[in-house]
Structure 1
Amino acid sequence: MAALNYHHLRLFHRIAHEGSLTRAADVLNLSQSALSVQLQKLEQQLGHDLFERRGKKLTLTEAGRIALDYADTVFETGDELIKVLQGRPRAAQHVLRVGALTTLSRNFQLEFLRPVIGRPDVELVVRSGTMRELLSHLEMHGLDVVLATTAVRRDAGTDLHCHLIAEQPVSLVGRPAPDREPIRFPDALRTVPVTLPSLDSEIRVALDRVLSLAGIHPVIQAEVDDMAMLRLLAREGEGVAVVPPIVVQDELQAGVLVEHCRIPDVTERFYAIVQTRRFPNPVLQDLIAASVPARTAPAAG
C-alpha cells in the first residue's frame, strides 16, 4: 500500500466532525465535488467505505469510526509537537464508547469499567439512554457496547450479541430496626410495606412468580424503574426494598441500610450487548473476557 495521504485524511477528519460534505466544504473553502473526489481517493486507498448516507446525513461506517479515532490521535499529536517544550505529549489512546440504560445501577457500571478507569491509554466515553436509543447508536457505530439488564433477541435480521457479564443476588434491605422482629422472605411481605422494581423489570417478574406461588399479596409502598431512585427510597422508607445489594453497597457498608435476607431463585443479570464487527475494540474484548458472572454470595444473617 502506498504511503497514507495525510491531506486526504485531514479532509476526511473535517467531514466526519462536521457530519456533512456541505458544511465541511464551507469550512475548508473547497467545492463539494472536489472534496468528494478526495474522500473517494482515501476510501480507495484504505479499501473501505468510510461513510454511508442516511437520508441527507453522513454516518460513519465501522471502518470510518476506526479511521476517525486514528485521525483524531494523529492531528492531536501534531498539535502537541508545537507545545512539546511546554509539556509531555499524551500517549496514544484507545477510545471505548459505552452506553448504559438510564435505570442501570451506577455501582455495577463502575465495577465493570473499573479495569480501564484511569488507564492512560484509554479514553472512556459513557452515555446513558433508553434501550432503543442506545441500540440505534450501537448499530451506527457510535457505541462499542450497551450495558443492560435485559438481553436482546437475536434473529436473522440483527447481528447483535449478548454477553452475560454478571449475575447478582437480590435481597430485602431496609433501615436498621433492632427492635423489629427478624424479616424473612417471603412471609414478611404479608405485612411489611415493600418498595419494588417496576413491572417490566426481570427482578419483578421473577419475584411476582414466587409470591404468587406462596399466595402472598405484598403491601406495595412504591414501584420504581430507576435503581438510583429505588436506592433513595430504601434509605427513606420504613419498610423494605427489593434490590440487588450492589446497588446499595455504600449504604450497607455505612450501616445506613441492612440486608435482612437474600431472596432465593431471584437474581439480576447484567449483559454487554455488542454488534458483530470486522474490527472489534481490543479494550472491550479484554473487559468482556475478564467479566465472569459473580457467584451468589452466602445469605445474610
Structure 2
Amino acid sequence: MLNYKQLHHFWSVARAGGIVRASERSGLAPQTLSGQIGALEASLGTTLFHRRGRGLVLTETGQMVLDYAEEIFRVGSELEEALRSRAAGRAIPFRVGIADVVPKAIASVLLAPSMDLPEAVRIVCRENKLERLLGELAIHKLDVVLADSPMPDRMDVRGYSHKLGESTISFFAAPALAASLGPQFPACLDRAPMLIPGADAAVRRPLLQWFEAQRVAPRIVGEFDDSALMKAFGERGVGVFPATTLIADEICHQHGVRRLGEADGVREAYYAISVERRISHPATLAISRSGLNRAAGR
C-alpha cells in the first residue's frame, strides 16, 4: 500500500527542487527526507530522481508520480476546505471559467445542477478566452472550465475533458428578414446576410462546410466571439445567425426572432475541463453527472 507520508516528502522535495531546500522549508533533517524518498522508491520499485551536480532531477516515472501527487494533495486540500466551510456554515466556493464562445444560456443550464446540492454553494463565474482560462485552471484559480471543445492538444497544461452533452445547430432571423428570404430551407440562406461565430468557436468550420455541402453561399456580414452580441445583431435584422437548437424556444422568445431550420449533421458539444481525471469537487461532479440534456429537462 502506498505510504502517503513518504509521498508527501517526495512531493515537497520535488517542488523545492532539492533535499536541502525542502529541509529548510519543512524543518526536517536532510537525512530524514532522503531516507523517506529512498523508502518510497523501494516500495514502488523505481527510481524517482537522478542526481545532477548537487541537485536532483525527476526521472520520467518521477514526473508521473509528481503529477499524481499534485492531484492527490490538491484534492486533500479541497476536502479540508469543504469540511471547514461546512462546519462553519459557509458556502463552498465553486470557481467556474466560461469560454467566451459558450452561450450564456447554455452555461446557465449546465451549471444549474451545482445550485441544487445539499451543501450551500457560492458560484464565481469568469468569462474569457479558453487559453487564458486554462492557464488559471492550471494554477488552481478555477475549479472547472466550460468550453465548446475538449482540452486542446497544443496547450502545455494538464487537464481532462468531460463531455457534458451536445446539440444540433439551427438558424434564426428577425421576422422581417425571415419573410424576405422565402420559405425554402436551406435554399433561403443563399446570398442571405449571415452572422457567424468567431474563429475560436469549434462549430465555425463545420458550419462553413455545411454551407458548401448544401450549395448555398450566404454573405457573411459579421463575425462574433461573443454569442450574445451576435444574437443582439441578429435581433436587429442585420443577418441570419446560428445558435444551439436546445434553447431555440428561449432564443425566439427573448430576441423576437424566428427559427428558419436546422443544419443537419452540425452539432455543438460542451465540455467541463478539470485538472483532475476523477472529479472530486461536489459542484463539478453534479454538472458532470447531470449532463446537458438532463439539466435542461429534455
Describe the SS at the equivalent of 1:202: coil
Separation (CA, whole Å) in 1 of partners of 2:217 and 2:78: 56
| Root-mean-square deviation (Å) | 4.0
Shift in Å, 1:293 = 5.2
Alignment check: 8 A CA contact 1:150 1:202 kept: yes
Partner residue, 1:98: 96
Separation (CA, whole Å) in 2 of partners of 1:146 and 1:228: 19
Q: Does 1:172 align with 2:171?
A: yes
Per-residue CA deviation, residues 259-295 of structure 1 (Å, 9 max, x unaligned), is 111111112111111222678213312320111557x
Separation (CA, whole Å) in 1 of partners of 2:196 and 2:221: 8
The gaps in structure 1 that reach 5 residues or longer are 1-34, 45-60, 78-89, 295-301
Any residues of structure 2 matched to 1:33-48 within 5 Å, and which? none
Partner residue, 2:106: 108
Partner residue, 1:160: 159
Per-residue CA deviation, residues 192-212 of structure 1 (Å, 9 max, x unaligned), is 211111244332211211222
Per-residue CA deviation, residues 23-42 of structure 1 (Å, 9 max, x unaligned), is xxxxxxxxxxxx955899xx
Per-residue CA deviation, residues 240-267 of structure 1 (Å, 9 max, x unaligned), is 1122245665441257111111111112
Partner residue, 1:196: 196
Question: Do the aligned partners of residues 173 and 73 (structure 1) sit closer, same or farther apart at CA in structure 2, a change above 3 Å counting?
Answer: same
TM-score normalized with structure 1 length: 0.64
Any residues of structure 2 matched to 1:132-147 within 5 Å, and which? 132-147=131-146
Partner residue, 1:80: none
Partner residue, 1:55: none
Partner residue, 1:21: none
Question: Do the aligned partners of residues 200 and 168 (structure 1) sit closer, same or farther apart at CA in structure 2, a change above 3 Å counting?
Answer: same
Question: Do the aligned partners of residues 188 and 136 (structure 1) sit closer, same or farther apart at CA in structure 2, a change above 3 Å counting?
Answer: same
Question: Do the aligned partners of residues 138 and 269 (structure 1) sit closer, same or farther apart at CA in structure 2, a change above 3 Å counting?
Answer: same
Question: Do the aligned partners of residues 91 and 222 (structure 1) sit closer, same or farther apart at CA in structure 2, a change above 3 Å counting?
Answer: same
Separation (CA, whole Å) in 1 of partners of 2:171 and 2:79: 45
Q: Does 1:228 align with 2:228?
A: yes
Separation (CA, whole Å) in 1 of partners of 2:28 and 2:94: 26
Separation (CA, whole Å) in 2 of partners of 1:99 and 1:175: 31
Partner residue, 1:56: none
Question: Do the aligned partners of residues 248 and 226 (structure 1) sit closer, same or farther apart at CA in structure 2, a change above 3 Å counting?
Answer: farther
TM-score normalized with structure 2 length: 0.64
Query: Partner letter of residue 77 of structure 2?
Result: A
Query: Partner letter of residue 171 of structure 2?
Result: L
Aligned identity (percent) is 22
Partner residue, 1:130: 129
Question: Do the aligned partners of residues 228 and 94 (structure 1) sit closer, same or farther apart at CA in structure 2, a change above 3 Å counting?
Answer: same
Structure with the largest fraction of helix = 2
Partner residue, 2:61: none
Question: Do the aligned partners of residues 137 and 148 (structure 1) sit closer, same or farther apart at CA in structure 2, a change above 3 Å counting?
Answer: same
Describe the SS at the equivalent of 2:213: helix
Partner residue, 1:261: 261
Per-residue CA deviation, residues 115-143 of structure 1 (Å, 9 max, x unaligned), is 22375521212222222211112122222
Shift in Å, 1:107 = 0.5
The gaps in structure 2 that reach 5 residues or longer are 1-23, 34-69
Query: Partner letter of residue 146 of structure 1?
Result: V
Query: Partner letter of residue 261 of structure 1?
Result: G
Partner residue, 2:41: none
Alignment check: 8 A CA contact 1:245 1:259 kept: no
Higher deviation after alignment, 183-192 or 141-150: 183-192
Separation (CA, whole Å) in 1 of partners of 2:190 and 2:139: 48
Shift in Å, 1:214 = 3.4
